[in-house]
Structure 1
Amino acid sequence: MWARELAVSAPGKVILHGEHAVVLLGKVALAVALDLRTFLRLRPGAEGRLSVALPGVGVRRSWDTPGLRALRGRITGKGRAVEPLPRGTDFDESKPPSVEQLDALREFAGIAAGASAPESLATLAFLYMCLAISAKYGDVPSLDILVWSELPTGAGLGSSAAYAVCLAAALLMVCGAISCPLREGESTARWTEEELALINSWAFRGEQVIHGNPSGVDNAVGTWGRVPTLRILLTNTKVPRSTKVLVAGVKEKILKFPAIMNPVLDSIDAISQECQSVLEAMPANPSPEHYPVLEEFFDINQHHLNVLGVGHPSLDRLCQVTASHCLHSKLTGAGGGGCGITLLPPDTSPQAVEAAKQDLCACGFECWETKIGAPGVTLHSCSSLSAQVLHALARS
């Protein structure tokens, strides 16, 4: 039985360059870790109970572990339903979730077929990962799990992947598939490369439960993180959008005007590769002279994305507002609303940043000053978490 109270965190992500080009033509996508994180606190639970609380999406569920073992036995068809299954069942990190498995989980959790609300998908992913990981590595654990996030949901910032990465790390650790690297007296620790690869594999399966056919970029960023560190403004226009619809629209344009649209996607790919080269050449603490070329990449790519048809008046407004403060912005993710990012060179004055934030908020947007470039999945002692995180977890 698990006997420690610990926390796991994973970062969100932003796409600097390569939106849509990566999905449709397999081009380079330059994804970086965002220094806004999801936190998962795990505690020993009441014997025979597994509980999860996701207050951000309104989920509070609890199940008895014998019932979960019975469900696992019915899904795999192995062992008696009331007993723990042997190691090495049908669940495997190399296999995607099957339709039959997910249908059985929906029936058990009372989730309607086709339900796509965040609370339904988060619950479904939790049940799948818990049963799959425990089936391969150990018994269904008695745990009390609480998840809180600094990331808004549905904004293209990798919130579901950060959740899946935290969940994979916690369950794999509790079931003994990976170590607990945090020693007494330490505040944080990370896993070995081999263990991170296993975390990433299971997190990808969780992403498949939620998204169906994800690229794997988001969970990889959440697992390993990305550098260097750049200051940004992250702005959520609060305009909802459908990634599926936007991708379909770009695909239609490519089919209709291939001689026009394919060169645009090739140019986006070239920007991604050139930007990656620039970032690799930058020191850990870049100076102002490194930024002009990054700002030009932002401007060019934003125009390309508008040509693809994934812009939106809210994103145009965001770019206009920040340009009035001599700052450069672009959309990140699918477009059609959602989020935009604004580079903040080191010589940007605090007054200019605050003025830009006030003007963006006056448009009805939500704005954060944060960083790109952050460590991947990390294990924490609960006492080492910031006062903000501790307060949020306690309040949840």
Structure 2
Amino acid sequence: MQIGIEAIEGRGNAYEFGRKQAAALKETALFDKHTNRRKKSIKRYQTDFMEAKSWIKELSPSLWEEMQGLADGLEWRLSDVVHEYGGYQQSWKKSGCSAIITNEVYGRNYDYHPKTYDGRFVLWQPENGYAHIGFAQRIIGRMDGMNEHGLAVGYHFVNRISPEDGFICCSIARFLLDSCRTTREAVEILKDLPHRHSFNYSLSDRYGDAAVVEGSAKSTIELIKHDNVCSNHFRSEAKANENRHMLTESKERLHRLKKLQKSNPGALEVFKMLNQLDYGVAKTDYKNWSGTIHTAVYNSKSLEVTAGIGVNALPVQISFKNWLAGSRFIVKRLRGKIEDVSGGEHLSSEKLPLNP
């Protein structure tokens, strides 16, 4: 199936950016999915509105304004937007993601099921706060990304048993991009935040400081020895008992990632290693929530992004630095191909116009 990931850019007022995203969302099949999902979401979980509001306004005041604009644009109550998109107390299916980090480069695969994939690539430069670039999830969340200071972030599913009150992964990633300049700052935020589920968070900054943080509702710790790679299980002795029972695939993939990282690859090499099937990292098991939907490589020093959709993809290179300086962003959609699978029809690009 040919798919198209919409590129969305915004600058300035966060409230107006929220309204802009709402208007665009209402014109898509994704909005129909979200509207139908509301019926289930209301029954499935509750959100402590004031607790979520307190955290969001502390970490990213502009994000709260964006959510207000989103609510007005969708003609939803703000409490419904916080419940559906805020990421405080929501469920998460299993997934598999891989990361390779070098001195300048953070590369990551997003492996999941297409039916829950937003299909949105966002560049955002607020009046107040840090600008960032990355792939969106649940509208305001980010699957991975890099901000104007060169901090790059991604997450890796570990387990969803024993969830407690807290934020889900894509909201946490957004908080880090909005509020942190360095890996050290991000690690401290990760330790302070309440976590809903068990995830690894891989991080890198322009100073070459990389980290892997193991976060869950029980506790959050920084992994001391991470070898600049990450997959889908906790490696620290302290949190090993929180892993799923079936770890063979994640451990084998981690071993391959370590071998690939040792060559100190550049951005394009990292992209190939993560994206081309020959390297044994990219996956096509979409029906079982484990197919590579996108590969993103962020250069923390040059602020260049290399991205591709699906496996064996043709990479697109984007200068976030030039965009921050005011350059026009001419990419309308990132295009690629994934296996036909039920639920991913909203991503189809067959009827979309070609990029200019």
Task: Please confirm whether the aligned pair reaches a TM-score higher than 0.5, indicating the same fold.
Answer: no
Report which of the two has the higher share of strand: 2
Report which of the two has the higher share of helix: 1
Look at both structures and tell me which one has the larger radius of gyration over its CA atoms: 1
Q: Which has the higher relative contact order, 1 or 2, with Cα contacts under 8 A spaced 6 or more apart?
A: 1
Give me the TM-score of the superposition, normalised by structure 2: 0.30
